[in-house]
Structure 1
Amino acid sequence: MTSKRPDTKHTVNLATGCVGDSCASGTGNGVSVNRRTLLQGAAAGAASLALVGGLPGGASAQGEAMIESLILGGIGGGSNPQINLNAYSPNSLAGGAFMFETLYIINAYNCEQVPWLAESYEWSADNLTLTYTIRDGVLWSDGTPFSAADVDFTFNLLKANSGLDLETAWSSLESVKAVDNTVVFTFAKLAIPDFFRICRTRIVPKHQWETFADPVAEVNATPIGTGPFIFESFTGEQVTAVRNERYWQAERIRIQRLIWQREAGEPQVNQLRLANGEYDWAGMYIPNVEQVFVAKDSDHNKYWFDQGGSIGIGMNLTKEPFNDLAFRKALAFVIDRAKIIQNAQLGYVTAASQTGLKLPGHGEWLNPEIPNEGYIGYDVEAAKQAFTAAGYTTDSDGRLLNKAGQPIEFRFMVPAGYADWIQAAQIIQENCAAVGITLNVETPDVEIHDQDRAAGNYDAYFQVHGGSCDMFANFYDNFVSERSAPIGEAAVSNWIRFENAQLDELTAELATTTDVARQKELVKELQLILYNEIPVIDLWYGAQWFEYRTEKAEGWPSAENPYCSPNPNPQLVLINLVPPGEGA
C-alpha cells in the first residue's frame, strides 16, 4: 500500500472541495497554469466580467431533464465526524465548496480569473487599494439578499478571529470596508499576490454569523450559503446536500442532490467501490487504473490525472559537491526521468521542465530563450563529459572522485512508507551508480524527515514546488533567501539554502506590480535563474487524482476537454455537468 505524500493526497477531499496539500494555498503540486493572466490590472479585471457565461456548458434547468444524484467519496469531519458546517473549520463535513463561495475562482488549469460573487476588481494607481464590485441579484440560501456588507463582515470577522483566517488574508491588509456595492481592501504595503488569498476566502452571511458567540468553535448546524447546494442531512455514514433553487446560477445546476458516503479505512476497499460504480466522482490513487477501474466499465469509467507542481531533487547547497554548479548541471543529465515516470509513477505523470513552470499550462509565461522549453534529457555520456570538464575524475574501480580525490557518496532521504518515492529514489540510485556515484537511500519517519530537511541535516531529498497560478509564490516560497536559515536552524521553506540576490530582487518586484507585461518579463528572468543555476533538479510533475463516471452525468473535464482542473475547482465542474446525451 502506498502512503500519502506531500505532493498529492491519495484520496482527494471532495468533502470540503479541497485537494491535497494545495487546499490552503492553491499551490502545492497540483495546481495551476495560465492562459490569460496572473495578476491582472484594473482594465483586465473589468474585462473578466464575461468569464462566467463563457465557460463551457450553461444549459438551463428550466423544464429540462435533471440528474437525480451524484455520489462522492469521503464525508469529511476528521476521524470522528460530527455535525460541523463551519466554513473555516478543518473538521467540517462534506460540501463546503458547494455551499460557501468566494469573490473569484482561479481556474487552476489555465489560471483564468473567473468572477464569482464579485463581478470585477480594480487596483488603485499606487497598488495599495483593491476594490471589488459585488455581483447583484445573489441571494443567500434562506432568501436574504447578498451584499457588500457580507464581504465586509466576513473579512473583519477573520481579522477579529485569526483562527478562522485560513488563507492568512490579513497578512498585509490594513482595512476592509464596504462602500455601496463595492468592497475596498486597503493594504499596509505593496502585496499584489495577496489577491489570491482574498479570492480563496469563503464569504459567510452577516445576518447569521453575527449571532454566533464563538465563531471559531461554532459548528453551524444550519449553514446558510450562496452556493448551489444546501445541507440536507448527516447520518454518520452519509452527508446529503440538495440543490439550492435560489442559486444565482440555478439554470446551470442540473443535479438534484450530492451524496457523500463515508469511505472504508483501506484504500483497496474504496478502489473496489469505485470500480463497481458506487462513486460517480472521486479522487483516489489507483495502481493500474486502466485494469482496476476503466476495464470494469469502459463505457462509463473515466479518469484524468492533471499535472500538479514539480517534483525534483532538492540538494543541500551548502555541502560539497552540491555547492558546485558544474556538478549539479552534470547530475541533471544522469537521471532517467522516463524510467521513474513509467516504473515508480506508473506512467501517470509527465517530465517536468527545469524552468519552474507547469507546462504546457504555463506556456504564456515560458521564456523562449530557454532551450527545449527547459526539459533536460537523460544522457549518461553527456554527464560523464560534464563531470570531466568540471574537474571530477574516476578511479580504477569507476568511482567518481571529487576534486580532493575522494569517492563521491551522499544520502538521499525519503519519508518512510512513501513507496513510489522510494522506488523513484532507487532508480536515481541506479542512475548515479552508472556514473560512479554512491547514493544511499534512507527512509526516516515523516516527522524526522521534515525536521532534518528544515534544519539542513541532509544531503538530498525530493522537493515539491510550484504549480500555482500565483507566480510570485512559485518562485518565492522555496527559493528566496529570506525563507532560508543557517544550517542547524529551521528554514521556513527554502530548505535547500539557495541564495541568489537577483532572484530575491525579481520576486520582490513581482510582488509590487499589476502590469501583466512586466510580470511576464520578471517571470522569464526567474526561469533563467532556475534553468541556469539548477538549485533543484526537476524530474516530474505530480499528479492530481480524478476519476469519474459518465453513466449519470456528462460534461466532465478531461485531457481532451481540460476546461478546468477538477480537484481545486469542483465549482467549475458542477456548472458543466449535464444528463447523458447532452454533453458535447
Structure 2
Amino acid sequence: MFLQQNRGSGRRRGRVRAAGVSLAATAALLAGCSGGGDSGRGDGTLIVYTGQAGDYQINFNPYAPARLDGDGTIFESLFFYNLTKNEEPQPRLGTEYAWNEDGTELSVTLREGVTWSDGEKFTADDVVFTLDMIDKHPTLNAVGFEGEATAVDDTHVKITFDKPSFLDGPYVLGRVWMVPEHLWRGIKDPSKDVIREPVGTGPFALDTFKPQAFTLKANPDYWDGEPAVKRIRYLSLSGNQAGADALAAGKIDWQTGPVPDIAGVEKNYPGYRAITVPMNQTVLMTCAEKDRGCEGPQTDPAVRKAIYHALDRTQLNELAFQSTSSAISPGFALPERDKALLSDGLGDRLAPMQPQVSEAAQLLEEAGYTKNGEGIYAKDGKAVELTIKVVTGWTDYITAVDTMGQQLKKAGIKVTPQQLSWNEWSDARGQGRFELLIDSLYQGPSADPFYLYHYFYSSETTAKVGETAQPNYSRWSDTRVDRALAALKGIDREDTAGRQPHFDAIQEALEEEMPYIPVLTAGTTSEYNAEKFTGWPSEEDLYAFPAVWQRPDHSEIFKRLKPAG
C-alpha cells in the first residue's frame, strides 16, 4: 500500500509485483543483490522487502518524504511510542520527561554517554539544534511545533511554549529524529538534502548502497549494545509475486504485504509465520482544493461523496485484500482503538460496506450533474472522468482500483487506473499532481487520532500544487478543523470530556467534505522468518506495530530480533 510512515510517506507498505516473474528469476535477482547466493545468511543478516519496485534513489534524510530509511534505525528519537497500545513510551535518547501543570514547559533528561556514529558526543545542543531546525523549516514540521528549546546542560533540555501544548509531547519525544549539529548546521535546505552519508546515534548505520539493494550494519558503539542482527539488507524486487516467490525460496526474511492465501502462510511457506494488525486507513486521496491549484471533478465535494457511497467495500475487501481489512469511519477515528471517540454527530459512524448507488446519484443530481449519452454524469460540458494513480506492482491496490472502476461505472462515474513507478507516484502525491491516488493515512506518534487529523487535514501541513505538502496531500483545510486542532493541543489527554467536542467538530467536517475518500481500515499483514530469527511481535506481545515500512517501529523490532540458534 505505501512505504510510510509511509510507504509512506512512506511511510508507509510493501505492495508490489511484476507479472510473470518466475521463482528462478527471483532467486537469481536476489543472489545478485546479495553478492552471490546465500552469502551473509549465517552472519546475522536480515533480508527485508518493503515493496520497493524499481531502483532505489539514495536518500537517508529522515525528514524527506521520499526517504529510504533512517528514522529509528540510523537517527533516533528521544522515546519510542507503541502505536498499538495506549501506554507509557520507552526511553531512547531520553530517559525521563515531565510537563509543568499548565502544559507550557516540557523538561527532558537525556541519556549520558551517547555518541554519534562518527565518534562525536551527543549532547543537549544537538536536541536544541534539531528542534530549532524543524521550527524554521515548515516542511519538516509535521505537527506545527512552535516551542523554544534551551540546553540547561549537556543532558537536560527545557522546551517552553507560549500556550498549553500537551499534544506536542508525543511528537517532540517520539517523532523528532535527532541530527548532529556539527554536520547539519552547514546544510542550506535540510528538507531537500538527501544525506548520502548519514551519521546518527541509532542501532544501525549505512553499510552499502546500490540501486537494487542497500544494507545497514549494526552499530558496534550503540548505547544499548550492538544489535544481534548484524546486517539488514533492503531489496528492490519487481512486485508482490516476486516477494511471494522469494518467501517460498527462503530468500527474504520479512515483508509486509499480500501473498496468495494469507491464511495458509505457515503451510505454504515452511518456517514462516504471519501477523495481521488493523491500523492504517486505506483511502482514495483527492487533490481537493481549487484555491491551492487542484483541477478536476474531484474538487467538488459532491463528486467525492458520490464515490464514497458508490463503493462496494465488501467486494473490495474480498477481491483485493483477502478479507483482511475491516470497516472504516468517515470521521477517521479507528473503529476499535478509538471507539469511545467516534462522534455521535456523524451520519455514518462506519462507512457502508454495500454500495449506495441511489445515494450517489442523488448527490450528483442535486449538485447539477446529469448523465451524458455514455451514461456518465457531466456538468457544464465536463464529464466526471478521473484518473487514479497507483504504484506498478502493488497488486492489492491495482486489484482494488480496477474493481472500483467497475463499481463506479454503475454510478455514472468513470475512473481510469494509471500505474506509475513508486518514485513517480510519490512525487505526484507530494506535489499535488493527481486527481485520485490510492494510499493509506497513517497514525501519529502515539495512540491518539489527533495526530492523523493534524498530519492530513491541517492548514499547517499542506501547500499549493507544485509545492511539497507534508503530509496534507489533499491540499484541503477548514477553519473548523484548524480551530479544533489548536484547542486540542492545549488540553491534557486525560480530559476526555473536554476533548470530545473538538473531535466531534473535526469528524463531522471530514464527513461533510471528504477530501480523503474512506475505503477500508487496512489489515496490515507481515510474513516473517520465525525459523531463522526469534523475538518477533505476536498477538500476545505486540510491543511494536509489525510492518517493515513503519518507522520507527521497525527499528524496535530490529533491536529485539536474534538469529535463531
Q: Residues of 1 paired with 2:430 and 2:176: CA distance? A: 31
- Give distance in 2, aligned partners of 1:218 and 1:496: 25
SS of corresponding position for 2:413: strand
Which amino acid letter does the alignment assign opposite residue 480 of structure 2?
A: Q
1:199 corresponds to 2:174: yes
Q: Distance in 2 between matches of 1:340 and 1:371?
A: 22
Q: Which residue of 2 aligns with 1:58?
A: none
Superposed counterparts of 1:47-62, under 5 Å: none
Would you say 1:176 and 2:150 are equivalent positions? yes
The Cα of 1:414 is off from its aligned counterpart by 1.0
Q: Is 1:22 aligned with 2:6? A: no
Residue 279 of structure 1 pairs with residue 252 of structure 2: yes
**CA distance, structure 2, for counterparts of residue 160 and residue 452 of structure 1:** 24
Structure 1 equivalent of residue 555 of structure 2: 571
Q: Secondary structure at the match of 1:523?
A: helix
**Residue identity opposite 2:269 in structure 1:** D
**Match of residue 529 from structure 1:** 509
Mapping of residues 62-73 of structure 1, within 5 Å: 69-73=44-48
Aligned to 1:107: 82
Contact 2:301-2:514 at 8 Å conserved across structures: no
Aligned residues: 509
**Match 1:302 to one of 271, 274, 280:** 274
3-state SS, counterpart of residue 502 of structure 2: helix
Distance 1:297 1:523, change over 3 A: same
For residues 30-61 of structure 1, the C-alpha deviation after alignment (integer angstroms, 9 at most, x for no partner) is 9xxxxxxxxxxxxxxxxxxxxxxxxxxxxxxx
Task: Name the residue aligned to 1:353.
Answer: 329
Q: Deviations over 1:120-139 (max 9, x none)?
A: 32334554432212245767
Q: Does 1:337 align with 2:313?
A: yes
2:526 is aligned to: 546
8 Å contact 1:311–1:542 — kept in the other structure? no
Alpha carbons of 1:534 and 1:93: their partners in 2 closer, same or farther (altered >3 Å)? closer
Which residue identity lines up with residue 550 of structure 1 in the other structure?
Answer: A
1:465 to 1:560, Cα distance in 2 relative to 1, 3 A: same
Q: Give the aligned partner of residue 507 of structure 1.
A: 485
**Contact conserved, 2:228 with 2:563, CA < 8 A, in 1?**
no
Distance in 1 (alpha carbons) for counterparts of 2:60 and 2:425: 34
Alignment of 1:149-228 (within 5 A): 151-152=127-128, 155=131, 158=133, 172-179=146-153, 181-187=155-161, 194-195=168-169, 196-197=171-172, 199-203=174-178, 209=182, 225=201, 227-228=202-203
Matches within 5 A, 1:32-51: none
Supply the distance in 2 between the matched residues of 1:174 and 1:265 (Cα, whole angstroms): 44
Q: Distance in 2 between matches of 1:448 and 1:241?
A: 29
Question: Does residue 1:8 correspond to 2:5, yes or no?
Answer: no
Offset at residue 200 of structure 1 (A):
2.2
Structure 2 letter corresponding to 1:572: E
Q: Distance in 1 between the 2:382 and 2:81 partners? A: 46
- Structure 2: distance between partners of 1:535 and 1:222: 36
Q: Structure 1 residue 390: deviation in Å?
A: 6.2
What SS does the aligned partner of 1:357 have? coil
TM value normalised by structure 2: 0.68
Following superposition, the deviation at residue 262 of structure 1 comes to: 5.7
Residue in structure 2 matched with residue 256 of structure 1 by the alignment: 228
Deviation, structure 1 residue 539: 1.1
Compute the displacement of 1:356 (Å).
1.0
Inter-partner Cα distance in structure 1 for 2:250 and 2:136: 43
Q: Counterpart of 2:228 in 1: which secondary structure?
A: strand
Distance 1:166 1:362, change over 3 A: same
Please state how far the C-alpha of 1:546 moved relative to its aligned partner.
2.8
CA, structure 1 residues 219+186, in 2 after alignment: closer, same or farther (shift >3 Å)? same
Amino acid at match of 1:107: N
The farther-off stretch of 135-144 and 168-177 is: 135-144
Aligned equivalents of 1:321, 1:257: Cα separation in 2: 47
Name the larger-Rg structure. Answer: 1
Tell me the residue number matched to 2:95.
119
Is 1:440 the counterpart of 2:414? The answer is: yes
Give the alignment's TM-score, normalised by structure 1: 0.66
Aligned equivalents of 2:187, 2:398: Cα separation in 1: 45
Q: Could you say what the CA RMSD is over the residues aligned between the two structures, in angstroms?
A: 5.5
Is the Cα contact below 8 Å between 1:414 and 1:441 reproduced in 2?
yes
Whole-Å separation in 1 of the counterparts to 2:304 and 2:70: 46
**Structure 1: stretches of 5+ with no match in the other structure:** 1-6, 13-17, 31-66
Partner of 2:247, secondary structure, is helix
Deviation at 1:330, TM superposition (A): 6.4
Instruction: Tell whether the 8 Å contact from 1:354 to 1:530 is kept in structure 2 after alignment.
Output: yes
* Cα separation, partners in 2 of 1:87 and 1:509, compared to 1, 3 Å: closer
Q: What is the rounded CA distance, in whole Å, between the counterparts of 2:405 and 2:56 in structure 1? A: 42
Q: Relative to 1, partners in 2 of residues 1:120 and 1:323: Cα closer, same or farther, differing over 3 Å? A: same
> Shift in Å at residue 288 of structure 1?
1.5
1:428 matched to 2:415: no
Which residue is equivalent to 2:33? none
Match of 1:365 in 2: 341
Q: Residue 383 of structure 1 aligns to a residue in which SS?
A: helix
Cα deviation for residue 551 of structure 1 reads 0.7
